[in-house]
Amino acid sequence: MADLLELLVSATASGCVYGLIALAYLLVLRPTGVINFASGEWAMMGAYAAYVISDAGGLPPILAIPAAALVLAIIGWLTEWLTVRPLVERGAGHLAPILALLGMLVIYHQVVLLSFSEDQYPLDGPFGFGRIEFGLLAGSYQDFFIVGATIAIFIGFWLFFERTVWGRSFEAVAINRRAAALMGINLRMVTALSFAGAAAIAATAGVLDSPRGSVEANMSLPLAVQGFSALIIGGINRVEGALLGGIVLAFAEDLTRRYAPIPSGLALGVTPVLLITFLLVLPNGILRAKEAK
Amino acid sequence: MKRKSLLIAAAAAVAFWSGSAVAQSTIKIGVITDRTGNARFYAEPVLSGIRLAAKHINANGGLLGKKIELVIEDDGNKPDVSASKAQKLIDAGVVAIISNSSSTSSQQAQNTTIKTLTPHVTHNGSDSLTRKLKHSCFFQIGPLGSIQIKTLMSYARAKNYKRVALVTDNSALGQIIAKFFKIFLIKSGVKVVVEQVIPAGSKSALPQMQKVRAAKPEAIFQAGILSREMVLFFRAYHQLGLKQQILGSFNLSIPSYLRTAKGLMEGVAFIDAYDPRKPEVQAFIKVYTKEHGKKPYSLPAYGYDDLGVLVQAIKRAGSTDKVKVCAALKATHKWVGVLAAKGTSYSFAKGRAGYPVEGAVVRLIKNNDHGPVVHSGTK
């Protein structure tokens, strides 16, 4: 029982990381219809930014998180401004921005590889490495910190979308871009903010995840795949769906590795199997879209 | 117009003449390395050792009265690129080639060097490198994988382990090392009670390590190579309060693990080719520290010995003629380099893999650093 509970804490933390990447996908997807596979690269770049800020800049790890998010928000905004906006304004097809962002994915990756002399870097969490127990629940400091930070972020986004005029304007654009524009909503601003916000959230996911392992360029692809799978599982229409999808995916992965009577290497197939199953059986994900008000 | 053409012709003649002069005053040694691919993390430190050896030799009178000129090509650890880079180096007039990315890349480069019988050396450890092609001028300088594993097994035997766990990742090399660990463990009469894989991209190794804990092994063999997954392994090991001895492959001699898993590897036993008890190692540490301002680990020593073996052969050949250099390499006997355990030496008398069978050592991680040698050889 103690093993199971400790595993659930760890899996919840992993699910939170997946959920944040799924949220980064969602923030771009909803108002623009663009699937941004560079979300994993943004997470990786966020981790590198936090490493530079805390190692060279001497900032404490807790402050490196918002600082890295800010750096990536600027990169996200520049990406939209330089690659996506010109394509949209020239009437390029729906696929063009997705392909442009795939191109940016390669550029991001190579720039990071060429800019850093070592392949891996350590990143300290705000509370260091250690184990803590809350009654029957036990886990590492970082796992509990990831869960707490993610809940705070999701509550913040939920309040933003549900309780603010700006959030409602995002939702309006997601429902119907043309009608939203006719109502006076600034589409350029909404799109730019969605890219900046998505990059900041992805960066936060990367920074939260890195103290559990290390900062390295190759961390991006698994995060992109797992985040996208979490998005599909949770449903692409709701903010809370991203988190739910992430947690379902992480539980499936870790419980399979721990308890399924198969070689642990085969548990690698959990993510693609779950993704395909949801696409076939429940294509809208676990949470359905809310009725438009 | 005519005057301009004359000027261009004159400039070209000067450039050609000066280029020839440079070519005549140096002995070119080609290096195929990985500066942009997935082997970069160990290829770069090895390259620093090759550069240091060249600098050291040049500062001490050079080779056959000439300076050594390193011609470096990046193959990104892509085997097909490695073969074409070998050709490029041969066309550039190198006397010999050092391969410094992965075994598969070295294997492909051999397909090119065999045609011109260009002397070709590598420190790569794959046992099959000298078996697939009958390339009489290809020589392996580093410790073979089988020597490394036999040395670790010899250490395990001395510890009398009967039940062990085997953990790896899903990288190709990690899987191969795990496979050989298992074969040798079973041969040694040791039972592998649990086998676990930590796949690339994992967020935690807790499920795998809980299974390891449940199987109650006496020791844990770690065959993985992926850095991030290695940190997950060590974090889960400590989080679950495990106390068993961890025994790692030669990959744990790569110092980047000490940085990413800082403070988590205390007491881990790992294979190394570097014996700090040797005077040659102490001399190397002095030279390297003076040059780079920091203490070296074993990786730069691989590069230092790569060039060292080549240079002693060229000296004995007394010429850069490829046939003569090949013969001199083949005749290398009892050559003591920086690598290999105290009291052992390189020899190509019995084959083209010259690293001494008893040359690998087992060391422990101590104070987050590569610590003392606790075992040496395969017996």
Do B98 and B156 have their domain in common? no
Q: Which of B44, B214, B231 sits opposite A213 (nearest CB)?
A: B231
B8: pLDDT confidence band, cut at 50, 70 and 90?
low
B376: pLDDT confidence band, cut at 50, 70 and 90?
very high
Do B203 and B310 have their domain in common? no
Return the percentage of chain B with pLDDT > 70, whole number. Answer: 94
Q: Return the minimum-mean-pLDDT range out of A263-267, B41-45, B138-142, B202-206.
A: A263-267
CA angle B231, B338, B334 (to 5 degrees): 135
> Which residues 6+ apart lie within 8 Å of A172 measured at CB?
A179, A180, A183, A185
- Would B241 be classed as within a structural domain? yes
Provide φ and ψ at B273, rounded to 5°.
-110, 15
Q: If you search the block for the tokens 């085969």, which residue do you land on? A: A266
> Which residues 6+ apart lie within 8 Å of A20 measured at CB?
A150, A153, A201, A202, A204, A205, A208, A227, A242, A246
B142: pLDDT confidence band, cut at 50, 70 and 90?
confident
| Whether B197 and A265 lie within 8 Å, measured CB to CB | yes
pLDDT at residue B297 greater than cutoff 70: yes
Do B285 and B252 have their domain in common? no
The pLDDT of residue B136 is 86
Instruction: Name the stretches of chain A with pLDDT < 50.
Output: none
Range B226-240 average pLDDT: 92
Q: Return the minimum-mean-pLDDT range out of B7-16, B248-257, B295-304.
A: B7-16
| Whether A222 and B201 lie within 8 Å, measured CB to CB | yes
- Would B93 be classed as within a structural domain? yes
How far is it, in rounded angstroms, from Cα B163 to Cα B145? 23
How far is it, in rounded angstroms, from Cα B32 to Cα A21? 39
pLDDT at residue B344 greater than cutoff 50: yes
How far is it, in rounded angstroms, from Cα A25 to Cα B86? 44
Do B217 and B336 have their domain in common? no
A19 touches A230 (CB < 8 A): yes
Two structure tokens written together for B336: 């003591």
| Whether B201 and A221 lie within 8 Å, measured CB to CB | yes
Do B168 and B235 have their domain in common? yes
| Whether B227 and A121 lie within 8 Å, measured CB to CB | no
Do B220 and B75 have their domain in common? no
- Would B267 be classed as within a structural domain? yes
The H or E element that residue B365 is part of is strand B361-366
Do B323 and B264 have their domain in common? no
B220 touches B246 (CB < 8 A): yes
Residues of B in contact with A226 (CB under 8 A): 201
Residue B300 belongs to what domain range? 7-143+278-348
Do B95 and B226 have their domain in common? no
Residues of A in contact with B256 (CB under 8 A): 118-120
| Min distance A185 CA to chain B CA atoms (Å) | 40
> What is the residue-averaged pLDDT of chain B?
89
Coil vs helix vs strand at A109? helix
How far is it, in rounded angstroms, from Cα B329 to Cα B121? 10
| Whether A265 and B170 lie within 8 Å, measured CB to CB | yes
Q: How far is CA B47 from the centre of its chain?
A: 10
| Min distance B207 CA to chain A CA atoms (Å) | 5
How far is it, in rounded angstroms, from Cα B270 to Cα B290? 27
The pLDDT of residue B4 is 53
Range B285-297 average pLDDT: 93
How far is it, in rounded angstroms, from Cα A245 to Cα B118? 58
Range B306-320 average pLDDT: 95
The pLDDT of residue B22 is 45
Coil vs helix vs strand at B68? strand
Q: Which of B170, B235, B256 sits opposite A212 (nearest CB)?
A: B235
Residues of A in contact with B252 (CB under 8 A): none
- Would B371 be classed as within a structural domain? yes
DSSP label at residue B377: S
Range B326-337 average pLDDT: 93
| Whether B203 and A13 lie within 8 Å, measured CB to CB | yes
How many other C-beta atoms lie within 10 A of the C-beta of residue A11?
A: 26
How far is it, in rounded angstroms, from Cα A248 to Cα B205? 18
The pLDDT of residue B353 is 86
pLDDT at residue B210 greater than cutoff 90: yes
Q: If you search the block for the tokens 């261009």, which residue do you land on? A: B8
- Would B75 be classed as within a structural domain? yes
pLDDT at residue B235 greater than cutoff 90: yes
Residue A17: exposure state from Cβ atoms within 10 A (0-12, 13-18, ≥19) = buried
How far is it, in rounded angstroms, from Cα B303 to Cα A155? 55
> Which residues 6+ apart lie within 8 Å of B99 measured at CB?
B32, B82, B105, B106, B109, B120, B121, B122, B124
- Would B354 be classed as within a structural domain? no
How many other C-beta atoms lie within 10 A of the C-beta of residue A121?
A: 20
B346 touches B309 (CB < 8 A): yes
| pLDDT tens per residue, range A130-186 | 888 888 888 899 999 999 999 999 999 999 888 888 888 887 887 777 788 788 788
Three-state secondary structure string covering A179-246: HHHHCCCCHHHHHHHHHHHHHHHHHHHHHHHHHHCCEEHHHHHHHHHHHHHHHHHHCCCCHHHHHHHH
Question: How do the domains of chain A map onto residue ranges?
Answer: 2-218
How many domains is chain B partitioned into structurally?
2
How far is it, in rounded angstroms, from Cα A250 to Cα A7? 10
Residues of A in contact with B263 (CB under 8 A): 129
Range B302-323 average pLDDT: 95
The pLDDT of residue B16 is 45
Return the percentage of chain A with pLDDT > 70, whole number. Answer: 98
Residues of B with CB under 8 A from a CB of A: 36, 40-41, 44, 170, 195-201, 203-204, 206-208, 210-211, 214, 227-229, 231-232, 235, 238-239, 256, 259-264
| Whether A216 and B228 lie within 8 Å, measured CB to CB | yes
Two structure tokens written together for B254: 């790569």
| Min distance B50 CA to chain A CA atoms (Å) | 18
Do B179 and B80 have their domain in common? no
pLDDT at residue B183 greater than cutoff 50: yes
| pLDDT tens per residue, range B59-107 | 999 999 999 999 999 998 899 999 999 999 999 999 999 999 888 898 9
Do B123 and B165 have their domain in common? no
| Whether A250 and B207 lie within 8 Å, measured CB to CB | no
B211: pLDDT confidence band, cut at 50, 70 and 90?
very high
Which CATH number is B124's domain given?
3.40.50.2300
